[in-house]
Structure 1
Amino acid sequence: MTLLLALGCAFFPLCFAALRWALQNLASLRMETSEAVLVASKLVSSVQAIMASTAGYIVSTSCRHIIDDQHWLSSAYTQFAVPYFIYDIYAMFLCHWHKHQVKEHGGEARAAGSTWAVVRGYLHKEFLMVLHHAVMVLVCFPLSVVWRQGKGDFFLGCMLMAEVSTPFVCLGKILIQYKRQHTLLHKVNGALMLLSFLCCRVLLFPYLYWAYGRHAGLPLLAVPSALPAHVNLGAALLLAPQLYWFFLICRGACRLFRPRGCPPPSPCQTRD
């Protein structure tokens, strides 16, 4: 366990540092610092997402019995990946910091008060994501490693496959950074992001309930009452931010696919 955690602690920051250096120094790229930080962070997130979803697919398809079957990769990848969430909190802050610096015309923070203002702005903007990452480290990781006691690798594998949507989210942010919102690539990516997020994050939870119901011989609507209250509460807490982010994605898709020249809805018609 210690070795896998150490490997994760080294892999993600080093991957970010190497990509950032390459984006800033390779003659064919030569990105500005703020651009290199953003693109490198999104590439690392995409790498982690591809590894997680691949591991999740292998685990979930290997477990015939959804409760008792085990796969070594479920525990191994969980231990390796948990440092990513700590790294990503820092990477998101670094993106926010450089974005603030660009707005300030590249000037350094002049006082501690200015630095704290950037930190407060970051926490205000990314509060839900920071909270999500903290819960993954402080709650989900101990539960998956200790509390499960080797049970339910199938469900953990399915949860890892939720990362399928992440590369599309990351590509969308990169395209927005370069003001490519109205390109065909951005629209295709937006459609794939919407579909993958719906299937792999929102509909994932009803699917897990259905899978357990099939195993236990229960209809879908009877599954919640057959499970302990803390299981339903945990699922609800995990689903809630996914629904919020899915709402934001849908709102962005409406703006993206609105015909040009069509005015946005008035405040009387919609609320942000």
Structure 2
Amino acid sequence: MISALACGAVVFPGLFYSFRKILRHTSTKWSDADVVSVSERLVSAIHGSLATAAGVRVVTSCSDVMTDSHWLTNWFVVFGAPYMAYDIFAMYLSHFHTQRVRGHSSSNSGHSPRTVKAFLMKDWMLVVHHLVLLLVFLPITLFFRRGLGDFFIGCLFTTEFSTPFVSTGKILIQLGLDNGRLHRINGIIVLLTFFTCRILVFPFMYWMYGQQFGIPLHRVAFHLPLHCNVGNLAILAPQVYWLILLLKKARRLYLRQKRDGGKDRPKTTDESSVDRID
């Protein structure tokens, strides 16, 4: 497991550093905020793709949803742990440079507790989401589940399937392609993959458990320990919130394009939050 941890600690920050270097040389008209933001989204897309591939492999390898196991489950949890820590830092850098471009005094004066506080207030839900995965999900997966439920951990890995498409949308906006057909198609894919893999995956897991033990879907929750249901609700709640933001953004974009042909306008707070979903 030490090798998996070391690998993750090298791969994700290394990719971020490499993308920043490449984009600085190839996109000379971009600001530091643009470079950092796109680099962050590219790394997020790679992590989301790897998590999805690992999840599919684990899920398809487990016939018994409780007792079957796969080595990739714990390995990928450890490998992905450094990503959670790195991504908080990358999100902060993106916030810092974006605020500098906008001329906010707290960022123009450099890194400071005030800048960090502004970042935490703006993106607190994502920060908490990452910390919970790192400080709660990781130890539960590695030490407290007694080797049971690899199938369900694999299902949770697949929730990252929508992340590459969310990142692609952000990159298309950066390239000035947000009014094109490709961006609209990608937006539809984001909604479909997000709803399927971050919302429907939870009733799917309950249904699979019921199939295993002959329990109707509506009765499964009553056969599970309370902490399992509470844990699932804690993971599901922010997904529902982010889905609502995605739907609101899709509606705004549709109405804007219908009204004025898709002219550019500043983003709202909700739209900025949607861009940061992982």
Q: What is the TM-score when the length of structure 1 is the normalising length?
A: 0.90
8 Å Cα contact 1:168-1:192 kept in structure 2: yes
Aligned to 2:224: 227
Provide the rounded CA distance (Å) in 1 between the counterparts of 2:109 and 2:145. Answer: 49
Q: Does 1:126 align with 2:123?
A: yes
Out of 227, 237, 241, the residue aligned to residue 240 of structure 1 is 237
Aligned pair partner of 2:202 in 205, 209, 212:
205
Does the Cα contact within 8 Å between 1:197 and 1:246 map onto a contact in 2?
Answer: yes
> 1:49-76 deviations in whole A, cap 9, x for unaligned?
1111001001100111111111111111
Question: Within 1, Cα distance between the matches of 2:232 and 2:201?
Answer: 10
Residue type matched to 1:86 in 2?
A: A
- Give the counterpart letter for 1:188 in structure 2: I
CA distance 1:34–1:106, change in 2 (3 Å)? farther
Aligned to 1:156: 153
Q: Give deviations 1:1-57, integer Å, cap 9, x for gaps.
A: 12211111111101100111011123xx33432211111110000001111100100
Distance 1:239 1:108, change over 3 A: closer
Displacement after TM superposition at 1:204 (Å): 0.8
Higher mean Cα deviation, 102-111 or 65-74?
Answer: 102-111
Structure 2: which 5+ runs fail to align?
A: 261-269, 271-278
- Shift in Å at residue 106 of structure 1? 10
Residue 205 of structure 2: SS of its match in structure 1?
helix
**C-alpha deviation, 1:133, in angstroms:** 0.1
- Return 5+ residue gaps in structure 1 as ranges: 263-271
Q: Deviations over 1:174-220 (max 9, x none)?
A: 23344433221111111000000000001111111111011110000
TM-score, normalised with respect to structure 2: 0.88
Q: Give the corresponding residue for 2:265.
A: none
Q: Compute the displacement of 1:165 (Å).
A: 0.1
CA RMSD of aligned residues (A): 1.9
Q: Number of paired residues?
A: 259
Query: Deviations 1:84-124 (Å, cap 9, x if unpaired)?
Result: 00000000000000001111189963377xx3332222111
The equivalences for 1:130-209 within 5 A come to: 130-209=127-206
Partner of 2:6: 6
Q: 1:265 maps to what in 2?
A: none
1:32-43 correspondence runs (5 A): 32-43=31-42
Partner of 2:20: 20
Residue 187 of structure 1 contacts residue 257 of structure 1 at CA under 8 Å; is this kept in 2? no
Q: Percent same amino acid at aligned positions?
A: 40
